[in-house]
Amino acid sequence: MATVTFDHATRIYPGNDRPSVDQLNLEIADGEFLVLVGPSGCGKSTSLRMLAGLEDVNSGRILIGDKDVTDVQPKDRDIAMVFQNYALYPHMSVADNMGFALKIAGTPKAEIEQRVKEAAKILGLTEYLDRKPKALSGGQRQRVAMGRAIVRKPKVFLMDEPLSNLDAKLRVQTRTQIASLQRSLGVTTVYVTHDQTEALTMGDRIAVLKDGLLQQVGTPREMYDKPANEFVAGFIGSPAMNLGRFKIEGEDAVLGSARVRLSRTTLDAIKPEDNGKIVIGFRPESLDVIAAEDDLSIPVRLSFVEELGSDAYIYGELVGAESADEKLGSGEDSSQIIVRVPPRTAPNPGETVHVRIRPGQEHLFSASTGERLPA
């Protein structure tokens, strides 16, 4: 096994002025499952392909273990890659697909057979070894692609959105299988996805990218509880965090009819370039429904109620937002606030409820830089 290090690694595609990956610094521990996540075009797949040797590194370097592999050919990097499309040979059996790379490398036939059987047992594919890919389901084909990587016994696994072709139920099932498989094998794994739910449930750590720049690296819990900036806050979590740009009036932050009390620590961190504004975020589960008489509250006029059995979510708009310049809502440029409430207690659409952020569960960000502020 091995560590992986991105040392100021940069990739600029020909004809582009901006780097697709810009000065990426990232250390991945031996045996770690690291997830690269971000919106489309953020540079996550490019980073993976740089590590695989499929993209040039324009500046900086990449190390696997103590070896600088920046200019090393892909076949000599001791990595195995699993792609979004399964890339199986349709005329070969499952066993032949899984052992093909070993066959090309000149591995003895008996050893190939042994490794294929071992991998098939791990992946639950033993009874399918004689089948052709067309006789398999999507999930089984993806496991064959995984098996092809496992039999090589590489130092590093690279996975580029391997579950995106599966239906929702199978995706949930397969992601738990991949995560448990990686932990049992102990192979350093870099996993790329745009699905932040996959990132939160699978990774030992998550690295969030935006516009080629690394935004934050941390455990799923760290990313959820203490996002480093406004972008990470809005990206990590499902449903997304409610975010709004408030105007500071004395000790309070005000937006429409919403009013939130700020601490002296937060007020002291406000800079002149913030122009008297602050971005406040709160997750749907971080709110309490309170009495309407309370001045420090967020009034929400309900438009939709979603009962999920174990949970209920209410959706609505901020009262008084019609006259405000800014929006408060869950998701980018959204004016729809989401609140989680106990099941079978949700009010009816059209009603107005008053909610308050629980102490310590607000997320505060600079209006000028988007960086996290002390609470």
**Cβ within 8 Å of residue 271, ≥6 positions away:** 366, 368
* pLDDT in the model for residue 222: 96
How many other CB atoms sit within 10 Å of the CB of residue 215? 22
- Report the range out of 102-106, 271-275, 341-345, 348-352 with the highest average pLDDT: 271-275
What CA–CA distance (Å, rounded) separates 77 from 58?
A: 18
Q: State how far the alpha carbon of 44 is from the alpha carbons of 74, 75, 90, 193, 279, in Å.
A: 18, 21, 29, 8, 27
* pLDDT in the model for residue 85: 80
Q: State how far the alpha carbon of 114 is from the alpha carbons of 102, 206, 274, in Å.
A: 12, 35, 64
Q: Summarize pLDDT for 174-186 with one digit per residue, the tens.
A: 888 888 889 888 9
Band the pLDDT of 330: cuts 50, 70, 90.
Answer: very high
Residue 311 CA, chain-centre distance (Å), reads: 23
Q: Which domains are seen in the chain, by residue range?
A: 4-233 (3.40.50.300), 239-366 (2.40.50.140)
Segment 252-272 shows an average pLDDT of: 95
* 3-state SS, residue 323: helix
Band the pLDDT of 363: cuts 50, 70, 90.
Answer: very high
**Cβ within 8 Å of residue 90, ≥6 positions away:** 132, 133, 134
DSSP class of 24: E
What CA–CA distance (Å, rounded) separates 268 from 241?
A: 25
Q: Summarize pLDDT for 234-256 with one digit per residue, the tens.
A: 999 989 999 999 999 999 999 99
* C-beta of residue 299 within 8 angstroms of C-beta of residue 320: yes
DSSP class of 372: B
Band the pLDDT of 72: cuts 50, 70, 90.
Answer: very high
